[in-house]
Amino acid sequence: MDGTMMRTPLSVNHLIERAALLFPKVEIVAQMPDRTTRRYGYGELWERSKALAQGLLRAGLKPGDRVATLMWNHHAHIEAYYGVPMAGGVYHTLNLRLAPADITYIAKHAGDRFLIVDDVLLPLYEKLAAQAAFERVYVASLTESPVPAGLHRYEELIEDADPRWVPGEFDEDAAVGLCYTSGTTGRPKGVAYSHRALVLHSFAAAMADTLGLRQADVVLPIVPMFHVNAWGLPFTCALVGCSQVFTGPLLDPASLLDLLQKERVTIAAGVPTIALGMLRALEAEPGRWKLRDGLQMIVGGSAVPESLMRSMDRKGIRIIHAWGMTETSPLGTVAKLKEHLRRLDDEATYRIRLKQGLPVPFVEVRAAGESGTVPWDGSTQGELQVRGPWVAGSYFQSPDGEHWTPDGWFRTGDVVTIDPEGYVKITDRTKDLIKSGGEWISSVELENALMGHDAVAEAAVIAVPHAKWQERPLAVIVLKKGMNTSAGDLRSYLAGRFPKWWLPDGYEFRDSIPKTTTGKFLKSKLREEYASWQPGPKG
């Protein structure tokens, strides 16, 4: 028998409409390049998003048309998140850190029709203008600079709106936004988020034992809005009706800390490299910033080094470690402690908080080894596979089947262990694993240990070819400013913590480690550079 409930569609539109109705004055704050802030409430965000939708329809937007954004985090970007789908379109966040040729490829692959671009990003736009050929380009003004001939003002879309206009019905399976994977190997692929996926993701993300967002919070997504919808926070925050603060283009540690202080932020979110930068600034100038008591920072995107979590705790900033992917909207696991585990001592609770965490409701996880699913024993490794209502079932216009198992689970490419409590721990990416004499060595664990050394700012461990062992680990090290150490010192530092055969064959010191546009170590590049590495006299 069927249930007797109504079937009203789940739509992100409801999130903003309800926030506008119930929390019209709760603020959306956007920092501009001159450090002034632009602020308005959910009421105005709703009105401006409706106006944008009407403007786009006037410009000829048809259902399903893609509207690209080349923008930093600020008010106009969140207006696009809500306004474009309200008009039946799909916003497509372009990653402004990619090379112009890659952005062009992605915009063309997505079939983007219109573009909204920040005035401060026009020099980048000019590099893709000829190739990408958007039908119409709208410029959002963050400064007073004039709009170049041939382009349109973003505010043109907002003007002349009819306040009585209401959007049409929403299909919960229709696409809302499109985001391409960062693609460290191969071509980037598009993931199209539906209304249903984003709404359910918001519910799961907001839960007390997930990210724990409440109406009273002030949330600062440092993670870019072009990277998996700023981890979905602009939707989750609207669901709970809390304030949202955006950085604009100012992402240096001091500017971030100034903003955290000024806006009395309760929850920030960003990748470990951003958190590390903030930590160094706090250590360099103790007492300069007075941050909100109980400040939390959601950190994911790559593994949180132990030293970072411990040092942040000492500064009163609690890191919540989470794991996700572009393909999982992104939230998959969050490392919060179960009640009975809170009784464990400090060391034991760190071991748990440093894992990637428990799967959130509706995300099913399993780890697959060579001969089937591996047990949840905390030591057997396997590839993490997931499924759930906000996990991609395919890529946009790309017949790529290899990322899904025959029974329909998404293959993440992350190698994990799952412990008896259900906590997932990433030990590597499948392609970053080091196989020495037939045994796996976890580069992530070596990196985390090395980054706990006083003199080490960054450490990446990669596999280098070896005649006898097939592969051996090589550590690539960036030292902290003014600090020094030697290969011998690092080796003895690691020796107490790992089996002898795990210890890297060499330590290469350099000024920086190449990174992806989202701040992860670009190990494929390092592997190329050190492909013919041989131990030198220094070893």
Instruction: Give the residue numbers marked as catalytic.
Output: 181, 327, 435, 440
Residues that bind ligand AMP (rule: CB under 6 A) add up to a total of 20
Nearer CB in complex with ligand AMP: 11/518: 518
| Alpha carbon of residue 150 to chain centroid | 34
Instruction: For residue 312, state whether it binds ligand AMP (rule: CB under 6 A).
Output: no
- Closest by Cα among 290, 355, 335, 288 to 316: 290
The interface region with ligand AMP, picked from 60-68, 87-95, 316-324, 475-483 by CB under 6 A, is: 316-324
Give the one residue of 61, 110, 325, 334 binding ligand AMP; rule: CB under 6 A.
325
Nearest residue to ligand AMP on Cβ basis = 326
Structure tokens at 344: 């464990």
Nearer CB in complex with ligand AMP: 16/297: 297
DSSP letter string, 468-526:
TTEEEEEEEEEEPTT----HHHHHHHHHTTS-GGGS-SEEEE-S---B-TTS-B-HHHH
Is omega for the bond preceding 24 within 30 degrees of 0, making it cis? no
- Give one word for 184, left, alpha or beta, with left for phi > 0 and alpha for psi -120 to 50: alpha
Instruction: For residue 381, state whether it binds ligand AMP (rule: CB under 6 A).
Output: no
Give the one residue of 119, 383, 414, 458 binding ligand AMP; rule: CB under 6 A.
414
For 9, phi and psi rounded to 5 degrees?
A: -70, 145
Instruction: For residue 269, state whether it binds ligand AMP (rule: CB under 6 A).
Output: no
Contact 224, 72 (CB under 8 A): yes
Pairwise CA distance, residues 256 & 71, whole Å: 18
Around Cβ 402, how many Cβ atoms within 10 Å?
Answer: 6
E strand or H helix at 29, and its extent? strand 27-31
Instruction: For residue 412, state whether it binds ligand AMP (rule: CB under 6 A).
Output: yes
Q: What is the DSSP letter of 10?
A: P
Instruction: For residue 301, state whether it binds ligand AMP (rule: CB under 6 A).
Output: yes
Structure tokens at 285: 């100038």
Nearer CB in complex with ligand AMP: 55/357: 357
Pairwise CA distance, residues 322 & 302, whole Å: 9
Nearer CB in complex with ligand AMP: 82/521: 521
Least distance to ligand AMP from the beta carbon of 406, Å? 21
Least distance to ligand AMP from the beta carbon of 122, Å? 26
Instruction: For residue 302, state whether it binds ligand AMP (rule: CB under 6 A).
Output: yes
Instruction: For residue 241, state whether it binds ligand AMP (rule: CB under 6 A).
Output: no
Interface mask toward ligand AMP for 479-508; x: CB under 6 A: ------------------------------
Structure tokens at 360: 């959130």
Pairwise CA distance, residues 356 & 324, whole Å: 9
Instruction: For residue 448, state whether it binds ligand AMP (rule: CB under 6 A).
Output: no
Binding site for ligand AMP (CB under 6 A): 181-182, 228, 300-303, 321, 323-326, 330, 356, 412-414, 426, 429, 518
